[in-house]
Each structure stands twice: as structure tokens, then as C-alpha cells.
Structure 1
Amino acid sequence: MTEGRRGGLRGWSAARGAVSSGLRFTSLRLRLVVVFGLVALTAAVSASGIAYWLNREAVLTRAQDAALDDFEREMQAHASTLPLHPTAAQLEVAARQMTEDGRLFSVLLVAEDADGTQVRGSSDTSALHGFTLEDVPEPLRKAVDKEQPITSGNKHAYHLYWQRVVDEDRPYLVGGAKVIGGGPTGYMLKSLEPEAKDLNSLAWSLGIATGLALVGAALLAQAAAGTVLKPVHRLGIAAHRLGEGKLDTRLRVSGTDELAELSRTFNRAAESLEKQVADMSARDEASRRFVADMSHELRTPLTAITAVTEVLEEELDAETGSLDPMIEPAVRLVVSETRRLNDLVENLMEVTRFDAGTARLVLDDVDIADQITACIDARAWLDAVELDAERGIMARLDPRRLDVILANLIGNALKHGGSPVRVSVREEGEDLLIEVRDNGPGIAEDVLPHVFDRFYKASASRPRSEGSGLGLSIALENAHIHGGGIIAANSPKGGAVFALRLPRDASPLIAEDPGHSGDAAGEGSGREGNGG
């Protein structure tokens, strides 16, 4: 009887599955928990899988080796003592003897009697069903019956072979060997269900351990996320406050880790930003104060100069012609430039009020058509302007500031676009839309974004013009203080279009402004610029 063994087919295999997810996680906390969970799950599944596989092989190999060793001993003790041509009864007795003493396997002996007929004997003591030759896989039978050549490395013609099989979801171990020198062939059948139950219990235990590890990883990730994200959350709140203009925002710093260093960096950046903004505000305030002081200081000499130029202008217009014709052009130039300088000073003072936030509305109920007509008539533009506005369209606005807006828009259209200039008014819900169209070539595309910039010149070849360069800027500021705005564009039919949109009632703006005094007489009501 030989002891050689050859591995056979496995009876069952582990199931595998794959799960894919198309979810997108936007929460950093959730991403941290998921990453921790995936890492823990991967580690736990890998460890559990390795542990299960090692235990599975150990359990099955131990049970398999024990059963095959017992079967081999019983074959030597009983099957080898049978006659060369035993009867079926002799085979059955030997098979029963091989399974005595609590052997947990069934035995089937196969031989030929004296007539050459195949006879069989089965123990059938512990099998779940009758053990027959059909229960033995054909490849195993062929391997057992195959005679091996005798060589230096192989001293026996026949060997013991085994194979694991599954029948009706039940695992079995089937082994077979042939008595050397003639005699019966023996097969054994052992149920591996006890081992399978033990392995299932082990798999459940490992699964529970994996679940507990996953829960622990999620709790650990939650704690870690709280530790990491709390400073990040505070940093986000501080950055938001800093963006709202609260430049004194600082973070409390504790520790020496990367987050603490990030907080220190934020505090240094906030401190530097606060200092720079304070310096810029101081310089801006100084500039506004200088412009305001300069404008006020210029008013006194300008008053005297204006009085003199008015006298000279009256002399120019007098029929007596008392002025020397040689100095008449110079006098006219002085008169013109004095007016221009006076307009510039008034505009600068108005600009400083807007920059300082001290400009206020003085509201009154006005008829828009009458207001536009008064603006045009006061500047002698009746022959050059066409008005398309129905009388009776009332609005509660600041008449002086509306006059400034209209004077600048219409004056700019007459100066740069040419007559006739068309002014139209229409109602759009709670707003008024006033459009000023000229008959000129339009505004260059590269100039359009800058038409409301202060002191902007559309052409470098004309650095000096009759206007102050502040008219359209002041018009836009006056529209903004009403809660409206102005848009400059080119008409498809030619010419430029300035669209002024104002609310029909600006009273809510005064109610929202706690610093509004209700009277802006102190701001001055001198002549405003009427051109860009």
C-alpha cells in the first residue's frame, strides 16, 4: 500500500463582489469620515479575508489529512487481507470493519470475483445517503486505477488520491486507493459539513469584527474631523468677517501644529491688511480734505474775479464800446476761463461731498416733463432739444440733483453728439426711464467703459476741453444717491444713448439712511457742470 497523494479539485470558493459609487461629496467632514471608513474597511476586510483563508485551509487540511490517514491504515489492516477475488459479502464485512471505532466516513470496496464480475461492498454507516461508485468523480476513479511506471523516484505503481466535491450544497471529501499486488480498490466519502459550519461561524465572527472596526473608524473619523475642522471653521468665519470689512478680526492661536501656524499667518495677514487699509484711508481722507479746502479757499478769490469779469463782460456787450479792440479777445478769454474755473471748483466740492458720504437728498414732488423743460429753458437749449414726455408723470426726487443730471447728459450730447438731441420719458413699473439720444457718430467701443470716469479724455489729442471732466461722473453719483443708475450705449440707428433710470419715489432711501438730516442746503446750490 502506498502513501503518495495528489491534490484534487476544491469543493467551494469565496464569493466576490464590487460596489461602485457615483456620489459626489462636498462636505469635508463627510469626506474625512468616508475616507477613514474606506481605509478601515479595506484593512479589516483584508485582515479578515487572510485570517479566514488561513483558517479555512488549516481546518480542511487537518480534517482531510486525518481522514485520509485513517482510511489508509484501514485499507492496510482490512482490505489488503482479503482474497484476490473476494465476494460481495466479504467486501461489505471489510468495509464495515474499516468504519468501526467511530470512523466518520463511509467506505466502498470494489473488486472482481472469480468469474470476473465486478462486486462491491459499502459500509454506509455515517453517510447521508448510500455511498455508490457513481458518487466518486470519474477523474478520481481513473487516477486511482491508473498504474504508474516504477522509477527511482516512484517506488509504487498505485497511489492514494483525493478530491473535494459539493453535492446539493454539501461539501465532501472523496479519496481512493488500490491495493498493490492485486486486490480490491477502496473509496472513502467523508462529510465536511462540521468543518464548513465552523468556517461559517468564523466568517460571521470576522464579519462582525469588520463591522465594529468600521463603526470605530467612523467614530474616530468624526472625532478627528471635529479636531481638524473646528479651526478650519473658525478660520472660514474669520475670513468672512474680514471680507465684510471687519479688519480687526483675529484668531485665537494655541499649539504649534500646522493649523496653529495657519492661524498665525492669517492674523499677520489681517494685521497687515488693516494697516494698509488704514494708511490708504488716511491718504484718501487727506486728499479729500485737500480738495475740499482748496475748493473753499478758491471761492473767495474767484468771487472777486467773477465780479470783475462780469463788469468786463458788461463793457464788452455795451454799445459804447469803451474797451480797446486790441484787448477784447483777451477779455473774452478771461471771462470764459473764469467761468470754467468756477464750474471746476463747484464740481470738485460736489465730488468731495460724494466721496465723504455727506451728500444728502432734499426730496420734493416734481413733474418730470416740467423739470426737463425748465432745465432746457434755463440753458437756452429749446431750439436744439426735442422733448418726448407726457405731462403729469410725477416723482418724488431731489429737483436740484435731477437738474444736474439732466444738464450734464443733455449738455454732453449737444457738445459731443450734435443736435437735434431727443429726450424721452417713459414709466416702467416703479421706475422712470429717461433716455437722451444725440445725432452724432456715437461713442468709440474703447471709450464706452470710461465715459463716467473722472477727468477721462476720449482723445489724447484734446487734453483740454471746455468741460471739467467731472460732469458725467457727478451725474452718475447723483443717480446712485437716488437709488438709480445711468447706462451709456450706442444706438443701432446711430448716435449715443444715455439711459437714466430712477425710482419714482426715493423716500425709502432717506428712511434707510440714519445720518440723513433732511436738508441739504448747506451743500451749496451753485452752478453745476453741464458737460463731460
Structure 2
Amino acid sequence: MTEPHDKHRGWTAAKLVIPAGLRFTSLRLRLVVVFALVALTAAVSASGIAYWLNREAVLTRTQDSALSDFQQEMQNRAAVLPEHPTQGELQHAANLMADSSQHFSVLLIGTDENGREVVGNSDLDAFTVADVPRSLRDAVTEKQPVTENNKHAYHLYWQRTTQDDTPYLVGGAKVDGGPTGYMLKSLEPEAKDLNSLAWSLGIATALALIGSALLAQAAATTVLKPVHRLGVAARRLGEGKLDTRLRVSGTDELAELSRTFNKTAENLEKKVADMTSRDESSRRFVADMSHELRTPLTAITAVTEVLEEELDAETGSVDPMIEPAVRLVVSETRRLNDLVENLMEVTRFDAGTARLVVDTVDIADQITACIDARAWLDAVELDAERGNLVRLDPRRLDVILANLIGNALKHGGSPVRVSVTTTEPHEGAELVIAVRDHGPGIPEDVLPHVFDRFYKASASRPRSEGSGLGLSIALENAHVHGGEITAANSPDGGAVFTLRLPVDAAPLPGSGDGEGDDDAPGAATDAKDSQEGGVAK
């Protein structure tokens, strides 16, 4: 019994192609897609298995019934025919065999007394030998030896075929010493039933897919609402609203996550409050200490000035043996005084009390005054056009320039070039001041730290004249103006500090155009004072 591959129509799962550039960034979308794919896979698998099992059951039942009837008719009708039947006898037997409950066509083939082949057909020419596959005919007419296990020389064979898109069942058997018979049964009713089943399963699969998508949407909404609330709370916490808490309900994993978030936020709030309190206490201590030190420092400074005048006097009233010690006391007193002034300035920046006193100035005149006050005219080259008016705080600009130029002279060497440009109004109208020296430049590992407080590039010089606050104070003064300072190395050698300020520096919120800080260090410092705090490059 042979059965070739037959074509059957049903539901096939199309391959889902997702563009390579598409990325699912939404958790809700990912949940819906995963649910849908799982449901689709399950539904297609179940439908395919159900279709295959039903198909085999229907075809096997129809096939077995038709072949059983055909075999019975061959025994009842064809076996009783004479060894050499006439064409009429074969035709009559074929008609009787076809008149069964299975409604199949019958073809009987025999030989008459003259040895000629005669054919009896129940459907005239509708079913001929050409409709029977060659392999089936060879199997039916092949005589097998009769043995203990094989009682019959000929057997019943069948095969499913398709003609004009219509499925058929073809069977054949031969009577020993009699005619050969073939039957042809249409399987079109069964195919229609199977197609209806396939459509039903397809509709069920589509409904399952839609249902899974709706279920995924509902599940995503249930799961993602707490996640969304957690995201909003985390965002608020990141914005500094440390009193943010989540409402906890239930005992599932999301509820436990919410409780953990609340506990973390509570601990963070306590730690931040504690750190803020300690920071405020530290700032208060520095400010109070600086104020308290000013009184004795004022007296000490007056004494050191007298001592310095005695050193410079022609009378030579100071013992030469103690002259180095006196000069060291004068130098260190001046250094301590500058350090206290810088600490007070830093404290004002940290407390947010630094104020701008805005005035309209000629930037070229302002830079010239800064250089002239510190006797740097011979060491600094100025490239600035006069008549370039800007609105800023002259005192704070003087502090910035004194630190940048003094730092360049101290660590880069002369000549120091100061160039001034102004960007176009449509670019934001910025004042750009570049201070370049001709030194060895700043090491790459030092560049990110040049504006850090108390940072010194050389650990071997911890007691250099600078305090490590100058560039930090310069940067803070730039920030008060709404500007910025950057440090880099020039391709032609040397370091370049670039100051960018708006040409019209409006006072920051909380600062006024009133008088400057009473305790602020003045701009008119001498050359040595202006270099205090410079960072070694």
C-alpha cells in the first residue's frame, strides 16, 4: 500500500519580520508583543495539531469505509464472474458494485475468450485506466507467492491523488483467476469539511490573539501603574524633593519595592539633612574663624609694616642677624592675611551671598588698570580695542584677571598675551578674554583639577606662596556673572585660560546692584597679593 505526498490546504503561520532599526523602548509595548507572540505560538500550535488529527481521522474513516465496501463488492460481484467475461458482464458487475453506500466509481478489466482485454465501467468514460497511477496498477497486478503467512496471491492497494484540485481515493484489487477491479472515490466533501475546520481554527486563533493582546494590555496597566509611580517618585527624589514617598498597598513584589523605596528615601533624607547641617556648621565655622582672625591680623599686619619700614630704612636699625626672620614674618603675615580674605570670599560663594555691583566699563581700560596696578606692563602684551563697553562688576573682573595673569606669569613665564574679542550678537554677545603664556603647558592629568580648591599640581611644593584658592575664586566670580573659565594647552605651546562673560551681566537672583560686600577683598592689591591662590601648572 503506497501513499504519495498529497497537497492539503490549511492555516500556515506567516513569518513575523521586524525591521532591524526598530527598537521597543516601551515596557508596555514589549509586554503586549510578548503576550501576543506567546498566544499566537500556542494558538497556531494547538490549531495545527487539532487540524492534523481531525484530518487524519476524517480521511482514515472515509478511506477505510470505501475500501471495505469495495473489497466486499469485489468478493460478491467480481469473484462470481466467469474466467473470460464479456464486456456486458463486466459492465453489469461494475454498475452493481458502484451502487453502494460509498458512491464510488468502478472499473473492471478482464480478458474474453479470444484473449482481448475487455473493460466494464460504471461511469462510462469518466473513470479510465489512465486515472489509475502506474505504481498502483503494478502493485495490484503483481502476483505474490502464497505462503503460510500470505494466504492470497493478490492484495488490495490504495492511493490518494489530486486531479484538477480535487482530492480522490483510488483503490485496486484482483481476483485470482478473474478480472482486476479499481475504484475511484471523490474526497471533495471531506476536503470542504476540513477547510471549514481550518477556517474555524484560524478564526479561533485570531480571537485568541486579540484576547491575549487585551489581556496583555490589562496586565501591563496593572503592573506598570506602580512602576510608573515609582519612576515619578524617583524623578522627584532626583530633583531634590527628599520628602517624596510612595503609597504602599498589597503584599506583592511591587509593594515590597515601594516599601524599600520609601525606606531608602527616608534614610537619604536623614543623611542629606545631617550633611547639610554639618556643611552649614562648617561654613559658619570658617566664616566666624575668618572674621575673628581679622582683628589680630590687623594688629599683626600693622606691626609687620613697621618692621618692613625699618628694614627698608637707611639707618639700619634692625640687627642683620634677625633681618631674615623679620622678612619671613612679614611675608608669612601677608600670606596669612590673603588666605583669610580668600576664605571669607569662598564662604560668601558657598553661602550664595556674593553680589554683583554692575557698571559700564571700557574693557581695554579695565585690563590696563589691572596690569598697571600690579606693575606688569612690561611682562604682558594686551590685544584689545578701546571703546568696547561692557556691563559687569569691575572689582570681580579685576580679581579674575589678577589671578589668571598672575598665575600665567608665575608658572608660565613672560611674555603673557591677553587678547579680547566679542562674539556676534546673534551668538549671544559674549566677551571672550584669552590669557596665554609661553610656559611648558599644563599636564593632561592636571587639567581637570586646575580650578579645584587647594589643588596644587606639585606635591613636592605644598608650601608654595599660593593657597590653591585663586583660580577657584576666579571661576566663582565668572559664574556670578553668568560666565565660564576654561583651561587648555595651546598647540603652539603654553597654557591658555579663556574667560567668557556676557557683555551685559545682569545681577543673579538674590543679588543686587547695591554696594559691594563690606568684607570683600579689594581689587587694588599689589603684585604679590594678586598671585595668591594661583594653581601651579
TM-score, with structure 2 as normaliser:
0.92
Alignment deviations for residues 420-462 of structure 1 (CA, whole Å, 9 cap, x no partner)? 2221111223112111122333223332222212112222221
The Cα of 1:470 is off from its aligned counterpart by 0.9
Q: Would you say 1:353 and 2:348 are equivalent positions?
A: yes
The equivalent of 1:295 in structure 2 is: 290
Gaps of 5+ in 2: 524-528
Match of 2:227 among 232, 248, 261: 232
The Cα of 1:369 is off from its aligned counterpart by 0.4
Q: How many residues align?
A: 519
The equivalent of 1:123 in structure 2 is: 122
More moved, 63-72 vs 366-375: 63-72
User: Taking structure 1 as reference, are residues 254 and 523 closer, same or farther at Cα in structure 2, changes over 3 Å only?
Assistant: farther
For 1:221 and 1:520, the matched residues in 2 are separated by 66
TM-score, with structure 1 as normaliser:
0.93
The Cα of 1:198 is off from its aligned counterpart by 0.6
The equivalent of 1:42 in structure 2 is: 41
User: Taking structure 1 as reference, are residues 520 and 136 closer, same or farther at Cα in structure 2, changes over 3 Å only?
Assistant: farther
The equivalent of 1:375 in structure 2 is: 370
Match of 2:334 among 339, 348, 352: 339
User: Taking structure 1 as reference, are residues 332 and 76 closer, same or farther at Cα in structure 2, changes over 3 Å only?
Assistant: same
More moved, 490-499 vs 69-78: 490-499
For 1:419 and 1:164, the matched residues in 2 are separated by 104
The Cα of 1:95 is off from its aligned counterpart by 0.9
Alignment deviations for residues 123-179 of structure 1 (CA, whole Å, 9 cap, x no partner)? 118xxx711111111111111111111111110111111111000100011111111
The equivalent of 2:451 in structure 1 is: 452
For 1:514 and 1:459, the matched residues in 2 are separated by 39
Q: Would you say 1:499 and 2:498 are equivalent positions?
A: yes
Gaps of 5+ in 1: 1-5
For 1:272 and 1:153, the matched residues in 2 are separated by 89
1:121-520 correspondence to structure 2 within 5 Å: 121-124=120-123, 130-180=126-176, 182-429=177-424, 430-507=429-506, 510=507, 513-520=508-515
Contact 2:355 2:517 in 1 (8 A): no
The Cα of 1:310 is off from its aligned counterpart by 2.6
Contact 1:11 1:172 in 2 (8 A): no
The equivalent of 2:31 in structure 1 is: 32
For 1:462 and 1:358, the matched residues in 2 are separated by 33
Contact 2:248 2:258 in 1 (8 A): yes
What secondary structure is seen at the aligned counterpart in 2 of 1:464?
coil
For 1:84 and 1:134, the matched residues in 2 are separated by 24
The Cα of 1:101 is off from its aligned counterpart by 5.1
For 2:263 and 2:405, the matched residues in 1 are separated by 51
The Cα of 1:323 is off from its aligned counterpart by 3.9
Contact 1:362 1:519 in 2 (8 A): yes
Match of 1:22 among 18, 24, 28: 18
The Cα of 1:467 is off from its aligned counterpart by 2.2
Q: Which amino acid aligns with 1:130?
A: A
What secondary structure is seen at the aligned counterpart in 1 of 2:421?
strand
The equivalent of 1:66 in structure 2 is: 65
Q: Which amino acid aligns with 2:530?
A: N
Q: Would you say 1:57 and 2:56 are equivalent positions?
A: yes
Contact 1:343 1:527 in 2 (8 A): no
The Cα of 1:284 is off from its aligned counterpart by 1.3
Identity %: 76
For 1:514 and 1:404, the matched residues in 2 are separated by 22
What secondary structure is seen at the aligned counterpart in 2 of 1:521?
coil
Q: Which amino acid aligns with 1:30?
A: L
The Cα of 1:463 is off from its aligned counterpart by 1.3
User: Taking structure 1 as reference, are residues 78 and 264 closer, same or farther at Cα in structure 2, changes over 3 Å only?
Assistant: same
The Cα of 1:192 is off from its aligned counterpart by 0.5
What secondary structure is seen at the aligned counterpart in 1 of 2:48?
helix
